[in-house]
Structure 1
Amino acid sequence: MTPLQITLVQTSWQKVVPIKEKAAELFYGKLFEMDPSLKPMFKGDIVEQGRKLMAMINTVVMKLDQLGDIVPAVQDLGKRHVAYDVKDKDYDTVAGALLWTLGAGLGDAFTDEVEQAWTTA
């Protein structure tokens, strides 16, 4: 990622933080709409899952310029997702749902340049 892309992701994320609960709700709604077969993977409280998701995204976004600090945690998260039977194709669906959510939450601020930065991230 370029420094500009990092800045675009971080500044656009700061606009999502105040609506993070709604963003999580939108995200999971879109995710399950895009692929209903994913819903059984989420056995717990989806609101709590949304809080965890938003916290993890926040951590990663804030550390984009210091990825070495978070690589072990992200690798651990990836290992846990293998145990949940997450497939490679599921990550594409998650990415699509996240980009859609960002677009819905940011509105006109979700420019092509911001979308590309998030896609790169």
Structure 2
Amino acid sequence: MTPQQIQRVQHSLELIAPQADLVATRFYDHLLTRHPALRPLFRHTDIRLQGLALMRMIVWAVQRLDNTAELLPALRELGARHVRYGVRAEHYAWVGASLLDTLAWSLGPDFTPELHDAWAAVYGVVAQTMQETTPEREPELRAA
């Protein structure tokens, strides 16, 4: 992530904030329609509350993109919790694609190729950091 990418993502999040509920609903609708295999992970979850939690986490993380000493340990902890929920490594790509599609929908023409790349870079760091705690990555991490 470059400083310019961080700035772009932070600015775009300000544009999304007034419609956070709608964005979260759209995200989960998109994710669960494209990947119905994920539905069981949410069977005991109020998806509206889950959406609010997602948006709070995105805001929190984006506000700390330039403070990796605080951000990265929190993402590792979040990744460990997601393992307990049944999240697997391949799910991160599905979430990333749904996130980018949802951002394109919510931002419309403001979702430029540069902004797409910035969000993709940010999500890449988030997903990679969260996956450091997934069982599928343990042999890879031990070998490094």
TM-score by length of 1: 0.97
Indicate the structure whose relative CO is greater, using CA pairs within 8 Å and at least 6 residues apart.
Answer: 1
For 1:51, the equivalent position in structure 2 comes to: 52
Per-residue displacement from partner, 1:38-92 (whole Å, max 9, x unpaired)? 0110121110000000000000111111121122221111001111111111000
Any gaps of 5 or more consecutive residues in structure 2?
123-144
Q: Aligned partners of 1:44 and 1:32: how far apart in 2?
A: 13
* Aligned-CA RMSD value: 0.7
Any gaps of 5 or more consecutive residues in structure 1?
none
Q: Aligned partners of 2:86 and 2:19: how far apart in 1?
A: 30
Number of residue-to-residue matches in the alignment: 121
The reply to whether residue 11 of structure 1 matches residue 2 of structure 2 is: no
The reply to whether residue 32 of structure 1 matches residue 27 of structure 2 is: no
Q: Aligned partners of 1:2 and 1:74: how far apart in 2?
A: 19
Q: Aligned partners of 1:71 and 1:120: how far apart in 2?
A: 15
Q: Aligned partners of 2:39 and 2:110: how far apart in 1?
A: 30
Q: Aligned partners of 1:18 and 1:64: how far apart in 2?
A: 21
Q: Aligned partners of 2:73 and 2:81: how far apart in 1?
A: 12
TM-score by length of 2: 0.82
Q: Note the C-alpha offset of 1:108.
A: 0.2
Amino acid at match of 2:112: T
For 2:73, the equivalent position in structure 1 comes to: 72
Q: Which runs of 4+ in 1 moved over 2 A?
A: none
The reply to whether residue 88 of structure 1 matches residue 89 of structure 2 is: yes
Per-residue displacement from partner, 1:86-119 (whole Å, max 9, x unpaired)? 1111000000000011000000000000000000
